[in-house]
């Protein structure tokens, strides 16, 4: 068998203009539909910037350090003096163990408020970004995740490259800010042994506070750009082709419960519009208990009277109640009410067969109102 060659397409006039784009996937150019967004959220695919979380944690921790610094300084001075003033000759293994345990408890006592402030900031920023989302699908076991080829593809993907570039930029910016902050205090570092413990702790606290808030602001600026990038990337990942939108529309509208809800909503809207026009009617013809038909006639723009509302049962009672509230005449005519209800839809003009009967009713109403 002869191998396929592109020359066949060039030789055959019928194939020369064959569109090879038919084999390509349709480009995703349309914004995601609400259903697509809801499905992505259900699967745990949400728009989330980790850089914004990191900036919030760093700034919240910095504020906690700022307010707790006086307490830390007093606690550390007391703990250091008590520890180093203890005679070393009397120490035993048990004393060293108790000292280590006390040091760990003291460290936890001092660090716990900062950790809680960072945790609260992380939770708050995450909630403000995506709200409350719980999904087990991102951590569910899938065999395709064990595929080394797919793993290498993720490692060397455009997303991984963008993440690497963002991390390098963040590292360089934060390192530059930190180095600039330390450089401004570099002249004081050789004098630290001369200022005593209180002076050393004061210097260390001041430097730590400056490093924290300056680096936090730098990370916050980077987080804003990361936030915008993550939002753009998320929107791109959700984009759909026109064919996907058609299939989704066919799938959602094809469900019986969805169709039933749509029809019920349409009936409610039509009923509301219909009842809203009852005060415009010239007369309401009733059965009197089962049917009610509201008619309106404007000789300037109508060739024949028009049915603007009709109903049976509770709807008929509602029409009659609105008519009484707005002074619309109500006329009892059982055969005419039944015939109009069964043969004329809302918004249609009455057929010629009802002209005489309706004209008699309208003449009676006009005489009652003194219009003729």
Q: Report if residue 239 sits inside a domain.
A: yes
Q: In this structure, what DSSP letter does residue 349 have?
A: B
State the pLDDT confidence band at 177, using cuts at 50, 70 and 90: confident
Decide if pLDDT at 321 tops 80.
Answer: yes
Q: Report if residue 265 sits inside a domain.
A: no
Q: Is the model's pTM score more than 0.75?
A: no
> Domain of 357: which CATH number?
3.40.1690.10
Q: Quote the percentage of the chain above a pLDDT of 70.
A: 74
Choose from 44-58, 100-114, 310-324 the range with maximum mean pLDDT: 310-324
Please give the Cα distance from 119 to 113 (Å, whole number): 10
Q: Determine how β-strand 329-332 pairs with β-strand 291-296.
A: unpaired
Please give the Cα distance from 200 to 193 (Å, whole number): 8
Decide if pLDDT at 4 tops 50.
Answer: no
Same domain, 125 and 238: yes
Kindly state the tokens that stand for 330: 């109500």
Please give the Cα distance from 168 to 271 (Å, whole number): 63
Which one of 247, 266, 298 terminates a domain? 247
- Please give the pLDDT value at position 17: 46
Q: Report if residue 21 sits inside a domain.
A: no
Q: Report if residue 303 sits inside a domain.
A: yes
Same domain, 312 and 207: no
Alpha-carbon separation of residue 282 from 321, 352, 366, 370 (angstroms):
15, 19, 9, 13
- Please give the pLDDT value at position 142: 61
Q: Report if residue 262 sits inside a domain.
A: no
- Please give the pLDDT value at position 368: 83
Same domain, 172 and 92: yes
Nearest to 294 by CA among 343, 335, 347, 334: 347
Q: Report if residue 260 sits inside a domain.
A: no
Distance of CA 170 to the CA centre of its chain: 28
- Please give the pLDDT value at position 134: 62
- Please give the pLDDT value at position 284: 92
Each residue of 120-147: pLDDT tens digit? Answer: 888 888 888 777 666 555 555 566 656 6
Same domain, 296 and 208: no
Same domain, 188 and 283: no
Q: Are 18 and 6 in contact (CB under 8 A)?
A: no
Same domain, 190 and 68: yes
Same domain, 218 and 86: yes
Same domain, 239 and 283: no
Q: Report if residue 345 sits inside a domain.
A: yes
Domain that holds residue 94: 34-133+142-247
Same domain, 46 and 178: yes
Nearest to 69 by CA among 102, 110, 104, 106: 110
Residues 6+ apart with CB under 8 A from 2: none
- Please give the pLDDT value at position 5: 45
Domain count along the chain: 2
Q: Comparing 328 with 206, which gets the higher pLDDT? A: 328
Average pLDDT over residues 305-318: 89
Please give the Cα distance from 109 to 68 (Å, whole number): 11
State the pLDDT confidence band at 263, using cuts at 50, 70 and 90: confident
Same domain, 187 and 288: no
Q: Report if residue 15 sits inside a domain.
A: no
Q: Comparing 3 with 286, which gets the higher pLDDT? A: 286
Same domain, 202 and 342: no
């Amino acid at each position: 068998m002869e191998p396929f060659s592109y020359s066949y397409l060039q030789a055959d006039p019928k194939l020369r203009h064959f569109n090879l784009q038919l084999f390509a996937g349709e480009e995703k150019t349309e914004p995601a539909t609400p259903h697509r967004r809801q499905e992505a959220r259900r699967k745990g695919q949400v728009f989330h910037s980790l850089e914004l979380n990191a900036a919030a944690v760093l700034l919240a921790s910095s504020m906690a350090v700022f307010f707790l610094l006086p307490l830390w300084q007093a606690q550390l001075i007391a703990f250091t003096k008590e520890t180093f003033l203890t005679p070393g000759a009397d120490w035993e293994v048990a004393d060293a163990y108790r000292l280590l345990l006390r040091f760990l408890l003291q460290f936890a006592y001092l660090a716990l408020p900062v950790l809680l402030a960072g945790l609260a900031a992380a939770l708050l920023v995450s909630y403000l970004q995506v709200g409350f989302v719980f999904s087990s699908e991102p951590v569910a076991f899938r065999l395709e995740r064990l595929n080394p080829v797919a793993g290498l593809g993720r490692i060397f993907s455009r997303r991984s490259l963008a993440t690497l570039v963002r991390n390098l930029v963040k590292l360089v910016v934060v390192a530059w800010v930190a180095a600039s902050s330390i450089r401004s205090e570099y002249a004081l570092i050789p004098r630290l042994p001369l200022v005593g413990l209180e002076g050393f702790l004061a210097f260390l606290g001041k430097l730590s506070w400056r490093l924290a808030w300056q680096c936090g602001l730098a990370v916050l600026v980077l987080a804003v750009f990361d936030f915008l990038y993550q939002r753009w990337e998320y929107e791109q990942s959700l984009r759909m082709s026109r064919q996907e939108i058609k299939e989704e529309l066919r799938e959602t509208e094809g469900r019986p419960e969805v169709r039933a809800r749509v029809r019920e909503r349409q009936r409610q809207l039509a009923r509301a519009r219909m009842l809203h026009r009852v005060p415009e009617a010239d007369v309401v013809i009733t059965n009197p208990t089962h049917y009610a038909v509201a008619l309106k006639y404007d000789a300037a723009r109508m060739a024949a009277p028009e049915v603007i509302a009709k109903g049976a049962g509770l709807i008929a009672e509602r029409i009659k109640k609105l008519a009484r509230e707005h002074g619309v005449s109500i006329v009892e005519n059982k055969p005419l009410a039944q015939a109009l209800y069964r043969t004329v839809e809302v918004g249609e003009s009455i057929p010629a067969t009802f002209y005489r009967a309706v004209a008699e009713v309208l003449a009676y109403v006009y005489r009652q109102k003194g219009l003729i």
